[in-house]
Amino acid sequence: MSEDTKPAVHQGRVVVLGTGGTIAGKAARRDDLSGYVAGQVSAADLVAGIPGLDTAPLEVEQVAQIDSKDMGLSVWQLLVARLLHHLDRDDVQGVVITHGTDTLEETAYLLHALLRPAKPVVLTCAMRPATALAPDGPQNLSDAVLLARTHGAKGVLVLCASKVHGAVDVTKVHPYATDAFDSGEAGMIGVVEHGQFRRFRDWPEPLLEGGVVESARGRSLVQRFLGATELPRVELVFSHAGATGDTVRCLLNGAAGLGVPRLRGIVVAATGNGSLHQALELALQDARAQGVSVLRGTRCPLGRVLASPGNWPDTNGLSPVKARLALALDLLEA
């Protein structure tokens, strides 16, 4: 893989889209790193507090102001719509999204699956609130803008603690450390070091040469997504010692009379190389017989399921939470 030691940084226009999260959080005391309320500081105020960000064209837009644990379809739709608008602008070099860490990897994957932009879309975050004694958000946001202006940068990227990850590989691996994300066996794409980006492996491949999706299939999926009132219901189930099929049966039968959307898919986080407790597997077979799509991944943080012929279809190396979104998008397109 090629390595860029000092890639050029252009002074192109960057759009910052704020969605809330810890980076915009406030606590009553500066030493309180856990009792804060997320999504309290505007994206404009975050940008204004960082010296040097205004030396090149920069726009700020508040898309949402939430704790990312509550992320869902409505905010995703707003994000996708605003990304389509800004990425299609000739004067925009890249977009930065401020986001909470809890569901950041899900949003990153969703944007990758829908758009795969040829311009950089950089999600950044913080593990400490804006009111902390030593907040990590300002440096992350500054580095994210630098990354968005880096020559050749493309695709959906995640920047945290100076490390740059791809949307498909990134996972939150620590509940409170400032370096909370990892790319597993794939490795990170690069690092930001003292105002310079150093690349270790290839950028995510885009679907097209322009800024937004142009293929007929891509446009159709994006329009279906933007017009959806809900995503097809896909649930996560874990296999574990002593597992039963009760959870699956409840999912199949629990919607009756409650106004809950019909179950369309299940992603099962299996043990080891996709092994399933026999009681759970019997229930999954019943679900599949009733028309529910079932994908099998692994709950192991490294590696992927190496499926044998005749086994359950696997998640193609995606983590269970990302595979849930991938299956929902497939069902939305069906």
Q: Which domains does the chain have, with CATH numbers?
A: 13-199 (3.40.50.1170), 232-333 (3.40.50.40)
Please, what sign has the CA dihedral across residues 256, 258, 262, 267?
negative
State the pLDDT at residue 318.
95
Measured distance CA(223)–CA(153) in Å, rounded: 26
State the pLDDT at residue 8.
72
- Complete DSSP assignment for 241-276: TT--SHHHHHHHHTTTTTTPPPEEEEEEEEBTTTB-
Of the listed ranges 17-31, 211-225, 267-281, the least confidently predicted one is: 211-225
Indicate whether 168 pLDDT > 90. yes
Indicate whether 3 pLDDT > 70. no
Residue with tokens 């409505």: 74
Q: How does the average pLDDT of the chain come out, rounded?
A: 92
Indicate whether 120 pLDDT > 60. yes
Please, what sign has the CA dihedral across residues 187, 34, 95, 52?
negative
Closest CA to 198 of 1, 41, 22: 1
Confidence band for 212, pLDDT divided at 50, 70 and 90: low
Q: What is the pLDDT of residues 55-71, one digit of tens each?
A: 889 999 999 999 999 99
State the pLDDT at residue 215.
56
When pLDDT is averaged across residues 232-253 and rounded to a whole number, the result is 95
Indicate whether 77 pLDDT > 60. yes
Q: Which two tokens stand for residue 69?
A: 């644990």
State the pLDDT at residue 216.
58
Helix, strand, or coil (residue 208): coil
Indicate whether 227 pLDDT > 50. yes
Strand order of the β-sheet with 92-98 is: 58-66, 13-20, 92-98, 120-124, 155-160, 163-166, 190-193, 196-199
Query: What are the catalytic residues?
Result: 22
State the pLDDT at residue 106.
98
Q: What is the pLDDT of residues 288-317, one digit of tens each?
A: 999 999 999 999 999 999 977 567 999 999
State the pLDDT at residue 23.
98
State the pLDDT at residue 12.
85
Q: What angle in degrees, to the nearest 10, is found between the helix axes of 104-114 and 320-333?
A: 40
Helix, strand, or coil (residue 64): strand
State the pLDDT at residue 311.
78
- Note the helical H segments in the chain: 43-48, 73-87, 104-114, 137-148, 216-227, 246-253, 278-289, 320-333
Query: Does residue 54 or residue 247 have the better pLDDT?
Result: 247
State the pLDDT at residue 257.
60
State the pLDDT at residue 119.
96
Closest CA to 12 of 85, 96, 83, 94: 94
φ, ψ for residue 276, nearest 5 deg: -125, 140
Confidence band for 260, pLDDT divided at 50, 70 and 90: confident
